[in-house]
Amino acid sequence: MTETSQTTHLAQVTSSALAVPGDPFDVVREFVAALQEGDIEICLSHLHEDVVFHPAPLPPVHGKAAVARQLQLLRLLARRISIQTHNIAANGGVVLTERTHTIELGPIPVDFWTWGTFELVDGKIALWRERFDIAELSFAAARGIAQAATALQIESRRG
């Protein structure tokens, strides 16, 4: 199918969106919701056995077991994860997302934008690619450290 013959369907993610069984939108929405809740089992239930997770610009991770280890590490490091999906688009089995994440690493909040590509095979995520700006992520981490340090200084002055 050529690019000009493809039809793209866009939808804004809302809590009132109607669920359609097997719909790629639903698979990705459920996956992202489980990621936010830290429910690794539900995340894994949406992944293909041969999934490739590529958090670009970092190296890709191959296979469900390796992705499970990455998710478990994230849960160990993050006190809380908040994900806001701004836009979602699909073309057949490919779903694109535009999101902001806040990951709390102990007292340090790290806020950043990410763009996800999810390619589904047989209703499962076979490719999960996250694109983010490493400079923005580094700046967000520095900003979070400064916020945490400021909060500690205020607390120490009170006590």
- 94 and 8 Cβ atoms separated by less than 8 Å: no
Pairing of strands 124-131, 47-56: parallel
3-state helix, strand, coil in the chain (%, to 5): 40, 40, 25
Q: Which residues contact 87 (CB under 8 A, 6 or more apart)?
A: 10, 12, 13, 96, 97, 98
For 27, 30, 144, the CA distances from 120, given in Å and listed in that order, are 9, 14, 35
| Residue 32 binned pLDDT confidence (cut-offs 50, 70, 90) | very high
Given pLDDT bands bounded at 50, 70 and 90, which one contains residue 10?
Answer: very low
Q: d(Cα 4, Cα 104) in Å, to the nearest integer?
A: 42
Which percentage of the chain shows pLDDT scores above 70?
Answer: 72
Confidence of residue 159 (pLDDT cuts 50, 70, 90): low
| Beta strands across the sheet bearing 80-91 | 9-11, 80-91, 94-105, 108-121, 124-131, 47-56, 61-62
Across 16-20, 111-115, 117-121, the highest mean pLDDT is recorded for: 117-121
Stretch 15-40: mean pLDDT, rounded? 78
Encoded tokens for 49: 């056995």
Q: Which domains occur in the chain, in start order?
A: 22-158 (3.10.450.50)
Residue holding tokens 């293909």? 48
pLDDT of residue 149 exceeding 60 = yes
Q: Look up residue 49 and give its amino acid.
A: E
Q: Which residue has the higher pLDDT, 86 or 5?
A: 86
Token pair 């992705």 is found at 67
Spell 120-142 as b/e; 16+ CB within 10 A means b.
beeebbbbbbbebeeeebeebbe
